[in-house]
């Protein structure tokens, strides 16, 4: 078969007034310099690039809710014990974050989403707010109790709760992001 040489002018599929000879290497349509998206595998049209990105967005809105609930419940359960163990928090909080990430990963069957790490970290923070409220009330009650001498311990627990939440949320966030990329 002979190769056809055409003198016909070609124009961008999105901008009919712009002449171009550049084509998307996936769908083959003509794209002008402005429309062309440079990817690792060559120039592509914006539509093909969007399609490619959607493949990585497999999580539904309910998956985000599930991730947030799992994170909140597990953080709460851990939060009843971990902050009382004082400096063990430094080791246990990232461990808790890792475990929660693993649970979410398995429950969602590796589905991914751009906002999934945020939803999960949000669940941790929400749970942390409840925990702080509980320990805060305990601290307040101990201060009001004239017989009490435990306020210092309650204050420390409250402090470690904040540390636990911060470490747990950040570990969870980065683990889920890592999973998304990997």
Positions touching Zn ion (CB under 5 A) are 12, 14-15, 24, 26-27, 32, 35, 45, 48
* CB closer to Zn ion, 29 vs 180: 29
> Helices marked H in 4-59 — which ranges?
46-55
Instruction: Please say which residue, 46 or 163, places its beta carbon nearer to Zn ion.
Output: 46
Q: Cα separation of 168 and 125, whole Å?
A: 9
Read off the tokens for 76: 């709460």
Nearer to Zn ion, 30 or 164 (CB): 30
- Is 112 in contact with 56 (CB distance < 8 Å)? yes
Task: Give the Cα separation of 80 and 163 in Å (integer).
Answer: 14
The region, left, alpha or beta by phi > 0 then psi within -120 to 50, assigned to residue 27 is alpha
Minimum Å gap between C-beta 52 and Zn ion is 10
End-to-end CA distance of the chain, in Å?
44
CA distances from 172 to 63, 167, 175, 178 (A): 16, 8, 5, 10
Least CB distance from residue 44 to Zn ion, whole Å? 5
Nearer to Zn ion, 30 or 160 (CB): 30
Question: Whole-number minimum distance, CB 9 to Zn ion, in Å?
Answer: 15
Distance, in Å, from the CA atom of 163 to the CA atom of 83, rounded to the nearest integer, reads 8
As measured in angstroms, the least distance from the Cβ of 112 to Zn ion is 23
**Residue 25 or 142: which CB sits closer to Zn ion?**
25
Closest separation between CB of residue 172 and Zn ion, Å? 37
């Amino acid at each position: 078969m002979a190769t056809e040489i055409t003198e016909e002018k070609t124009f961008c599929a999105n901008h009919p007034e712009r002449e171009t000879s550049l084509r998307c290497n996936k769908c083959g349509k003509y794209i002008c310099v402005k429309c062309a998206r440079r990817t690792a595998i060559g120039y592509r049209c914006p539509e093909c690039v969007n399609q490619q990105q959607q493949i990585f967005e497999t999580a539904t809105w309910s998956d985000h809710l599930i991730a947030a609930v799992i994170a909140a419940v597990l953080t709460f359960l851990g939060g009843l014990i971990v902050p009382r163990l004082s400096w063990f928090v430094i080791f246990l909080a990232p461990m808790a974050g890792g475990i929660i990430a693993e649970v979410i990963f398995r429950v969602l069957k590796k589905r991914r989403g751009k906002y999934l790490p945020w939803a999960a970290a949000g669940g941790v923070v929400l749970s942390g707010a409840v925990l702080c409220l509980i320990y805060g009330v305990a601290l307040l009650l101990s201060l009001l109790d004239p017989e009490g001498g435990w306020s210092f311990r309650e204050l420390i627990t409250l402090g470690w709760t904040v540390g636990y939440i911060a470490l747990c949320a950040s570990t969870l966030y980065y683990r889920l992001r890592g999973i998304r990329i990997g």
